[in-house]
Structure 1
């Protein structure tokens, strides 16, 4: 099949392009190469698969004409391009809107107008659920947890687009869903949690697990905000890509639907109290950190109820927290010159 991967030079995108090329698929990488790691990922893909193994469309998703041209004869569009940091969205909400909301509209319009009835996978976010202030929490020795949501946050949780980032991603989320209802677009919305893995050039504001590993390995200063017991479910990128493949294979069942994709309650870790002892063991030394107050919008807890995805996709995470962290740590150590 012929695939168009927006943001195909990013962390998730380059991993998926790599997988697709290994399978012999025809791939267009659509990316403006604005993120620091993107040119490195393009070089890696070319070195691994050959200079002519894929088509690179260096363009922006805000450019509707370029996007329509790239999408005109593809069978699958995986929309990963976006502005990814909550803090950046607060600083520059207009650009965040134009990239995430308008950019996603451009993607699904390009799909609709192509006449090829392509499958569209939209990478949404758990941030569409907002702060979930109505959900009771309980505090344990090393983590916060939901008091009553045994399986985590379900897709039925009311939407609350907190922060400009939440608003812009939520806009795309609902447009992608509604285009399936109104126009019959074969789209599926995947609300992703804390994805991590190789080729993730994490920074403090985005990609926290990778950022902490990179900072610890390279000796950069680390700040822990809040009490360090904030909990997230983490999902290795290989497991995420398995879900993409399953959604494409089962599009007749999942089109127009919304699914949480995260590690779920079995792959939960607190960002400091539980993660840093693991990281210090891998590194073989203590890691100095600074402490600061909670940041606005920083949830005490998020982990996703992923049972709907399990049922519809026949999918469940296969890479546990410790194994996944070990794999990412090994990749950072092997490639520390890139950081």
Structure 2
């Protein structure tokens, strides 16, 4: 198939692109490199149909692209993804995540292209149910990032109901693995591993009792890709996660293996914290036969090996 992948030079986008190419698809990547990095796709860049450095808010660019190429699916991963940035500068996040998604939807509507929209587990309200968060769980936009994603989700689903356009909203839980940034904008696993390898203290925001459901990036990419291939999820919201959660305290100890190398610091955005994140992925299993394959221990090992070999310390 002909596939447009926005945000394809990002951490998750890279793995999605690699999987799509392995499946024999023709892939075009559109990325403004605000979060992504061109070196992320260096190993398979030659196999792409094109790598376009551009903005999803550039309507002229999108019109030209969609008129020239008959796409079958648009995997829309391009977005502002940092919660703190959205609190400091909500306009940029809204424009990228909500308005940018609208521009993508308009082109897909005109050319009848399926849309796979990457949302986030950060849209959910806190959950104490040990069965985990289902797609019916209440939402709570605790940050402009979550609010922008919810607004975009509603637009994506409205195009399914109003126009019959095949669309799906996917909500992966906290994804980690190789190629994730190891600095301030990275994920907790990558940051903790880098600090451990560098002999530094692992800093935990708040009490560290908050839990995360950590999904390895290859499992996430498999979920993203399958959501595009299947008609069973059209018009649906679908979760993906490991199905088990771990407190940030326990995660730090698993990685550092030494409690003396862990400290607690004041939370920088406690109002947007979700105390418990545990995914129920029954719907993904039922509709597309997806379930995660990589355990947390194995995923951490693979991520640590990548950080070592990439000389990121």
Distance in 2 (CA, whole Å) between partners of 1:223 and 1:22 is: 39
Distance in 2 (CA, whole Å) between partners of 1:121 and 1:53 is: 19
Distance in 2 (CA, whole Å) between partners of 1:150 and 1:292 is: 28
Distance in 1 (CA, whole Å) between partners of 2:94 and 2:103 is: 12
- Give the TM-score of the pair, scaled to structure 1: 0.85
Moved more, 150-159 or 174-183: 150-159
SS at match of 2:261: coil
Residue equivalent to 1:97: 94
| 1:186 Cα deviation from its structure 2 partner | 0.6
Residue equivalent to 2:261: 288
Distance in 2 (CA, whole Å) between partners of 1:95 and 1:330 is: 35
Moved more, 302-311 or 201-210: 201-210
| Unaligned residue ranges in structure 1 (runs of 5+) | 136-145
Distance in 1 (CA, whole Å) between partners of 2:240 and 2:178 is: 18
| 1:76 Cα deviation from its structure 2 partner | 0.9
Residue equivalent to 1:68: 63
Residue equivalent to 2:306: 331
SS at match of 1:254: coil
Residue equivalent to 1:166: 146
Residues 159 and 67 from structure 1, CA distance in 2 versus in 1: closer, same or farther, beyond 3 angstroms? Answer: same
| 2:263 is equivalent to residue 263 of structure 1 | no
| Unaligned residue ranges in structure 2 (runs of 5+) | none
Distance in 1 (CA, whole Å) between partners of 2:253 and 2:142 is: 32
* Structure 1 segment 244-259 matched on structure 2, within 5 A: 244-251=224-231, 253-259=232-238
Q: Give the RMSD, CA atoms, in angstroms.
A: 1.9
| 1:29 Cα deviation from its structure 2 partner | 0.6
Residues 329 and 303 from structure 1, CA distance in 2 versus in 1: closer, same or farther, beyond 3 angstroms? Answer: same
Residue equivalent to 2:37: 38
Distance in 2 (CA, whole Å) between partners of 1:287 and 1:22 is: 44
| 1:79 Cα deviation from its structure 2 partner | 0.5
Is the contact made by 1:4 and 1:71 (CA closer than 8 Å) also made in structure 2? no
The one-character-per-residue Cα deviations of 1:254-304 (angstroms, maximum 9, x if unpaired) are 110111111223xx22112x11222124xxx66734422343321221112
| 2:2 is equivalent to residue 23 of structure 1 | no
Residue equivalent to 1:113: 110
SS at match of 1:179: helix
Moved more, 324-333 or 150-159: 150-159
Is the contact made by 1:86 and 1:205 (CA closer than 8 Å) also made in structure 2? no
The one-character-per-residue Cα deviations of 1:220-263 (angstroms, maximum 9, x if unpaired) are 55421111121111111111122223222322x21101111112
Distance in 1 (CA, whole Å) between partners of 2:108 and 2:16 is: 20
1:310 to 279, 285, 305: 285
Distance in 1 (CA, whole Å) between partners of 2:15 and 2:153 is: 23
Distance in 2 (CA, whole Å) between partners of 1:206 and 1:101 is: 22
Is the contact made by 1:7 and 1:80 (CA closer than 8 Å) also made in structure 2? yes
Distance in 1 (CA, whole Å) between partners of 2:230 and 2:41 is: 30
The one-character-per-residue Cα deviations of 1:131-187 (angstroms, maximum 9, x if unpaired) are x3xx5xxxxxxxxxx2xx231111111222221111111111111111100011111
SS at match of 1:276: helix
| 1:305 Cα deviation from its structure 2 partner | 1.5
Residues 269 and 239 from structure 1, CA distance in 2 versus in 1: closer, same or farther, beyond 3 angstroms? Answer: same
Residue equivalent to 2:294: 319
Distance in 1 (CA, whole Å) between partners of 2:208 and 2:29 is: 38
